[in-house]
Amino acid sequence: MLRGNKETEGKELDEMNAEELGMLFPIHLEESRDDWESVYRAERMRIVEALHCSNIAAIEHIGSTAVPGIVSKPTVDVLLVLEREAELDYVVSGMKSLGYSYIPKPENPEPHMMFVKGYTKHGFEGQAFHVHARYPGEHDEPIFRDYLIEHPGIAAEYEMLKVELAAMYRHDRESYTEGKSRFVLRILKEAKHDFALSD
């Protein structure tokens, strides 16, 4: 567990600014682990049980832990595709029952929701998860994941970029994420073009 500093002592997470959160939760990359998929599958089962299948269109393992062989933050990213008729209040309460914090994300596609687990006012505790809620057709993350898996050279390029950004922005998660955005958008464009040609 990574501990906070004196400036964050006594503060709740929602009382901290971006700089304080960056100090508390630094960017840390780890080598690829063989058990990421089983960690995801166990959490997937818990989510399905908590939310009921009628609310869920699909659940997928996304992010770097879903791409074998590349370094990643030790955070398992989950894409939760909700039915458009899903009871969102039920989804929020179900995720909270699993220990997740709900984060409204107005800048993200509908339903503008994200859930995180493993973050405390003292730092990381236990396995961290990010669950990105989307509606069908409002997500590209699986396309990016699959393209990296099918193109190891591009995955290695992405890995190198992440290592460079992590060294530059260890305590600035927003700049780290922004630094990856141009690469991600470029690869998504390539992937969609290639997948369209193969149809």
- pLDDT tens, position by position, 16-29: 888 888 888 899 99
Residues sharing a CB contact under 8 Å with residue 71, sequence separation 6 or more, in sequence order = 29, 30, 31, 32, 64, 159, 162, 163
DSSP assignment string, 140-159? -HHHHHHHHHH-HHHHHHHH
For residue 13, the SS3 value is helix
1 falls within a domain: no
11 falls within a domain: yes
Q: pLDDT over 90 for what percent of the chain? A: 76
Q: Is the pLDDT of residue 3 over 50?
A: no
Nearest Cα neighbor of 6 from 23, 28, 25 is 23
pLDDT in the model for residue 12: 80
pLDDT in the model for residue 101: 93
pLDDT in the model for residue 16: 82
60: which DSSP letter? Answer: E
Q: Residue for token digits 């236990």?
A: 126
CA distance 192 to 22: 34
pLDDT in the model for residue 2: 42
Residues 88-98 have pLDDT tens digits of 999 999 999 99
Token pair for residue 128?
């961290």
158 falls within a domain: yes
**Do residues 166 and 180 make contact, with C-beta atoms less than 8 angstroms apart?**
no
130 falls within a domain: yes
Task: Kindly tell me the sign of the dihedral angle through the C-alpha atoms of 61, 63, 67, 70.
Answer: negative
Q: What is the CATH number of the domain that holds 73?
A: 3.30.460.10
Domains identified in the chain, total number: 1
189 falls within a domain: yes
Who has greater pLDDT, 195 or 99? 99
For the residues 86-112, what does the mean pLDDT come to?
93
Domain hosting residue 188, numbered range: 6-198
62 falls within a domain: yes
pLDDT in the model for residue 122: 87
Structure confidence at residue 199 as a pLDDT band (50, 70, 90) = low
Planar angle of CA 160, 161, 164, nearest 5 degrees: 90
CA distance 12 to 78: 25
188 falls within a domain: yes
Residues 123-181 have pLDDT tens digits of 899 999 999 999 999 899 999 999 999 999 999 999 999 999 999 999 999 999 999 99
Q: Is the pLDDT of residue 198 over 80?
A: no
Q: pLDDT over 70 for what percent of the chain? A: 93
pLDDT in the model for residue 9: 63
pLDDT in the model for residue 7: 57
**Do residues 176 and 75 make contact, with C-beta atoms less than 8 angstroms apart?**
no
CA distance 110 to 60: 17
Q: Is the pLDDT of residue 74 over 80?
A: yes
